[in-house]
Amino acid sequence: MTQPGKKLKKLPIGIQTFSEIREEGYVYVDKTNFLLDMIQTGKYYFLARPRRFGKSLLVSTLQALFEGRKELFEGLVIYDQWDWNIKYPVIKISFGGVARNCEEMKQDVNNILERNQKRLGVACPDNSDIGGCLQHLIEQSFEKYGQKVVVLVDEYDKLIVDNLDQPEVAKEGREILRDLYTTIKDGDEYIKFAFLTGVSKFSRVSIFSGLNNLKDISLDFRYGSLCGYTQNDLETVFADHLQGADMDQVREWYNGYNFLGQAVYNPFDILLFIDNGLEFDNYWFATGTPTFLIKLIQQHNYFIPQLEHLQIAKTKIDSYDIDNIELEPILFQTGYLSIKEAIKTDFGPEYVLGTPNKEVAISFNDVLIRYLTRENNPLSVKKQLLACLKTCDLDTFGELVKSLFAAIPYNNYVKNTVSSYEGYYASVIYAYLASLGLNLIPEDVTNKGRIDLTIKLNQYIYLIEFKVGGEGKALGQIKARGYAEKYVGQGEVFLIGIDFDEKKKNVAAYEWEAYNLCNYTE
């Protein structure tokens, strides 16, 4: 525990202003080495990161740096490497609030431009001309201050992301933003540096038409920890705050966000974890509801187990457009999936995606359970399932699986299109098991074929096969194909076969047996 009487630095929970953090003595993780590298090696940058990852603080830090606020940077890496005699005019475009129609969007942009005019002492001749006003701001600020202009855009995509549930409004937002951002390239000769950040990465054609010189550092390994806390940050900057914490559990619960550099923690999770007395909870997940993602899963009848080991081309998750919204890039860009492995192929980079950590696995699958089964309080069943797996009580486990499907309202099958495809049954069980935070391997590859689902829990290894409309065939397939041979000598192996009846909407056959090598050799 922390030494008695030792005063800890305050935690910057919800504070996104760099000057406030530095002036008021809050904890600050120094990222200025990254900023120095960016400024020295490039001019136009784009960064996408999930919500609550410190993007707004990063923009605020850049603003203070270019405005020459030397006193705020004392003790930081950049302090002795920056020319504090030069101060640059900064145009900061930061979207706040929610605009749900075209008029509200235009008013938001006008308000932002007016604030910049007031701060810089420059007036636009026509505020209704969004692109023209920004161009005027850039040119007149350059003339007034005798230095090139810095353009910083925070939540560049908010007008679109907030309206993905109403595509026509989102498209109107896209046109407004395209008009605004294209202006940045037109002012190239007056611009020192430009940085745009947001949650999503839309295709350049859709928003950045003309602004094709943006350097996207979202998956640049050199900037992988530009946002977020590293393991070293926790062990140094937060060492006193985290005394007494089970650091292996902290890593399991909150680490795992990978942008091709070292894995990072979401800052919001760590700050709330410390503030709440080192209690594990779903702090980041609770700040947003993935309603739109659930709608996409429903529309595409998505096979839920596929989310845990999804191999996909870089181009598939790199960006998307409003006219062609796919689930995978949104899940990745919003933080519900992360990169587990990078693979080089003859056709370009591919990534293996999966849930980043225990918090997301538990919380996101709880949402999926409610969607798939209409069960709003799955905790009781989850506790019983986990107890069965921990004690290897597979008879009770089977009864729980049967009662789980029996409890699903019949109209859920009628009204829910996802329940009409074979993967529904496996998806329900997978969501329940994944929500336990267990080590799951869906589509587990062996030299004899693929196991539908493998669970590793302490000394037990469970191999599960699902079949629809084939009573008694699931267990037989595991045995006939010798799936268990892969795990010989690694623990106690159990084979579980679950057959579903589409008409009865429940388990038609449930069988299990312990794997004994002697019983499977001639």
Beta bridge partners, 461, equal: 456, 493
For a pLDDT cut of 70, what percent of the chain falls above it? Answer: 93
- pLDDT score at 240: 97
Range in 62-66, 86-90, 295-299, 397-401 the model is least confident about: 295-299
Residue range 421-449: average pLDDT?
Answer: 86
What sign for the dihedral angle of Cα 50, 54, 56, 58? Answer: negative
- pLDDT score at 420: 52
Q: What are the tens digits of pLDDT across the range 161-171?
A: 899 889 999 99
State the Cα–Cα distance between residues 31 and 228, nearest whole angstrom. Answer: 10
State the Cα–Cα distance between residues 66 and 68, nearest whole angstrom. Answer: 5
Q: What are the tens digits of pLDDT across the range 231-257?
A: 999 999 999 999 999 999 999 999 999
Cα angle vertex 242, ends 240, 248, to 5°? Answer: 140
What's the pLDDT band for 495 if we cut at 50, 70, 90? very high
* Residue 427 Cα distances to 93, 302, 346, 463, angstroms: 42, 9, 33, 16
What's the pLDDT band for 137 if we cut at 50, 70, 90? very high
State the Cα–Cα distance between residues 149 and 153, nearest whole angstrom. Answer: 13
Asked if the model's pLDDT at residue 299 lies above 90, the reply is no
- pLDDT score at 422: 62
> Which position has the token pair 């993602």?
293
Residue range 201-225: average pLDDT?
Answer: 81
State the Cα–Cα distance between residues 232 and 327, nearest whole angstrom. Answer: 33
CATH 3.40.50 applies to domain 391-520: no
> Which position has the token pair 């506790």?
383
For 396-416, the DSSP string reads: HHHHHHHHHHHTS-HHHHHH-
Tokens in use for 162?
A: 């907030």
Tokens in use for 132?
A: 């023209």
Asked if the model's pLDDT at residue 119 lies above 50, the reply is yes
For a pLDDT cut of 90, what percent of the chain falls above it? Answer: 69
State the Cα–Cα distance between residues 55 and 65, nearest whole angstrom. Answer: 15
Tokens in use for 383?
A: 């506790």
- pLDDT score at 419: 53
Query: Strand 149-154 to strand 191-198: parallel, antiparallel, or no bridges (unpaired)?
Result: parallel
Asked if the model's pLDDT at residue 418 lies above 60, the reply is no
Asked if the model's pLDDT at residue 522 lies above 70, the reply is no
State the Cα–Cα distance between residues 497 and 401, nearest whole angstrom. Answer: 12
> What is the residue type of 274?
I
Asked if the model's pLDDT at residue 353 lies above 70, the reply is yes
What sign for the dihedral angle of Cα 46, 47, 48, 51? Answer: negative
3-state helix, strand, coil in the chain (%, to 5): 45, 20, 35
Residue range 11-38: average pLDDT?
Answer: 97
Q: How many CB atoms lie within 10 A of CB 437?
A: 20
What's the pLDDT band for 397 if we cut at 50, 70, 90? very high
363 Cβ neighbours under 8 A, 6+ residues apart: 282, 285, 286
* Residue 196 Cα distances to 62, 152, 153, 216, 267, angstroms: 11, 6, 5, 10, 20
The torsion of the CA quartet 136, 138, 140, 144, rounded to 10 degrees, works out to 170
> What is the residue type of 304?
I
- pLDDT score at 521: 45
Ordered by start, the domain boundaries in the chain are 31-223, 391-520
Tokens in use for 212?
A: 């094709």
Query: Strand 310-313 to strand 149-154: parallel, antiparallel, or no bridges (unpaired)?
Result: unpaired
Residue range 414-432: average pLDDT?
Answer: 73
- pLDDT score at 182: 87
Q: What are the tens digits of pLDDT across the range 370-395?
A: 988 888 889 999 999 999 999 999 99
Query: Strand 449-457 to strand 460-468: parallel, antiparallel, or no bridges (unpaired)?
Result: antiparallel
What's the pLDDT band for 517 if we cut at 50, 70, 90? low
Q: How many CB atoms lie within 10 A of CB 180?
A: 22
The whole-chain average pLDDT of the chain stands at 90
**Three-state secondary structure call for residue 43:** coil
Query: Strand 492-501 to strand 506-514: parallel, antiparallel, or no bridges (unpaired)?
Result: antiparallel
Topology annotation, domain 31-223 = Rossmann fold (3.40.50)
- pLDDT score at 447: 78
Tokens in use for 174?
A: 């896209």
Cα angle vertex 494, ends 491, 500, to 5°? Answer: 150
Q: What are the tens digits of pLDDT across the range 251-278?
A: 999 999 999 999 999 999 999 999 999 9
Tokens in use for 41?
A: 């090696």
